[in-house]
Amino acid sequence: MKDISKKDIGRLCSLSDNAEKIAITAHLHPDGDAIGSTYALLKFLQGLGKDACIVLPDRYPESLSFIVGREDGSLIISAKDDKDSAERLIAGADLVFCLDFNNFTESRCGLLSEPLKALPASQRILIDHHLSPDTSLYALAFSETGVSSTCELLFWILMSMPQTDGRPSALPEAALSALLAGMTTDTNNFGNSVFPTTLRMASLILETGTDRDSILYHLYNEYGENRLRLLGRLLYKDMKITGDGVAYIIIGKDTLKEFDIQEGDTEGFVNKPLEIKKVRMSCLIKEDDGFMRVSLRSKRGISANACAREFFHGGGHELAAGGRLYIPDDIAGPEEAPAYIEKVTHIFMNRDNG
Ligand code: 5GP
Ligand code: MN
């Protein structure tokens, strides 16, 4: 991780000092890192006496609700549930923090795409760990790919702020828990993207007495039976492995309905096929309205990011990326997805991807 510059921290302080109303936003289908980072920043800004709220493109999954304090539920607005309020809060904010994403496309921002684009750059701040940001879109951009997560990057930013002066105990307890939870989900519980700074962050947060066991319990021991039953079926019956070492699983709407799968329930599924030695890239494809949602994970030497950018209108990180297959532009219907995946991954895997 690059050092966080004093100049950027000074700029962050002056931008937030001069802002009365602050909105914090993250990407569509918010995950643990998105919720953990937006909520931790909310708690920090509340501590400074700011009028702050979180505006998301859509609701966060129930499985992550343990991160958010009950008293703050009303400060988190989903544009999908209340478009008018969401638009009003973004347009009326003096400053908007964009966390865990770095472009304003509809596939990343959903209904917030246009309201975010409409803001002047001088009112936007980026805090993100994805590849290829357009930093000219922001008054201030904290963009760092050499960290585990946005939660980690935010932690180090907050540690550089004069209010904390490097002391984690100066942060609200709820912020510390949220940051640890978000970092845990983005690293698959320390399974990937772990840097020396990640372990240092974890250690500093644990020293404050934050209850990691409780976070792990909420994250990994409270699923419904349906999730594991579905995973079993997908791995036993539905997973295909191509001759190029690409595993893919397609989950149709009928299956999502049969297993009563909610947003967040399939989190982590895409990683499972990588446990097989011959599998070098894994694709999980879920049917949605008018498109298929694509998640990609790859082993070292194969760029999930390059594949997502070239064939799935997306991107992300080197080894973990996502995108979409549009119907009817890319494929006529979900039944064509297997042939499309096999065709494009064959092209991709047989090229020099170094
Ligand atoms: P996931 O597979 O967990 O949904 O996403 C994996 C990574 O790819 C995440 O870092 C996420 O931000 C990124 N990603 C997922 N979907 C999209 C997309 O539609 N566009 C872009 N640019 N990135 C995506
Ligand atoms: Mn993230």
Name the token pair of 194.
């772990």
The per-residue pLDDT for 115 is: 98
Q: Is 320 in the pocket of ligand 1 (CB under 6 A)?
A: yes
Residue 35 confidence class, pLDDT cut points 50, 70, 90: very high
pLDDT in tens, 110-162: 999 999 999 999 999 999 999 999 999 999 999 999 999 999 999 999 999 99
| Paired sense of beta strands 76-78 and 51-56, if any | parallel
> What's the token pair of residue 30?
């918010």
Please say if the pLDDT value at position 352 is more than 90. Answer: no
In the DSSP assignment, the letter for residue 58 is S
Average the pLDDT over 252-278 and give the result.
96
SS3 label, residue 141: strand
The rounded Cα 57 to chain-centroid distance in angstroms is 13
- CA 129 / ligand 2 centre spacing (Å): 7
Please name each of the domains of the chain with its CATH number.
Answer: 6-219 (3.90.1640.10), 226-352 (3.10.310.30)
% of the chain beyond a pLDDT of 90: 98
CA 321 to CA 241: how far, in whole Å? 19
The torsion angle over the Cα atoms of residues 137, 138, 144 and 149, rounded to 10 degrees, is: -100
For 47-101, write each residue's pLDDT tens digit.
Answer: 999 999 999 999 999 999 999 999 999 999 999 999 999 999 999 999 999 999 9
Q: How far is the CA of 149 from the centre of ligand 1 (A)?
A: 13
Average pLDDT over residues 288-294: 97
Ligand 1 nearest-atom number relative to CA 296: 2
Cβ count near 335 (within 10 Å): 10
- Protein residue closest via CA to atom 12 of ligand 1: 316
Give the pLDDT of residue 353: 57
Strand 315-316 and strand 320-326: the pairing is antiparallel
Q: Which atom of ligand 1 is nearest to the CA of 107?
A: 19
The rounded Cα 10 to chain-centroid distance in angstroms is 27
Three-class SS of residue 325?
strand
Ligand 1 pocket, residue 323 CB under 6 Å: yes
Q: Is 113 near ligand 1, meaning CB less than 6 Å away?
A: no
Q: Which helix (H) or strand (E) holds 320?
A: strand 320-326
Q: What is the pTM of this model?
A: 0.96
Tens digits of residue pLDDT in 210-242: 999 999 999 999 999 999 999 999 999 999 999
Q: Is residue 281 packed enough to be buried (19+ CB in 10 Å), middle (13-18) or exposed (0-12)? A: buried
The reported pLDDT for the residue numbered 21 is 97
Ligand 2 ion: residues within 5 Å (CB): 33, 100, 149-150, 186
In contact, 107 and 324? CB cutoff 8 Å: yes
* CA separation, residue 83 to residues 60, 90, 114, 124 (Å): 15, 11, 12, 20
Using CA atoms, how far apart are residues 30 and 108, in angstroms rounded to an integer?
10
**pLDDT for the residue 255:** 98
The single-letter code of the amino acid at 51 is: D
Residues 215-236: b if buried by 16+ CB within 10 A, e if exposed: beebbeeeeeeebeebbeebbe
Tell me how far the alpha carbon of residue 98 lies from the centroid of ligand 2, in angstroms.
12
Mean pLDDT value across the chain? 97
Which DSSP category does 314 fall into? -
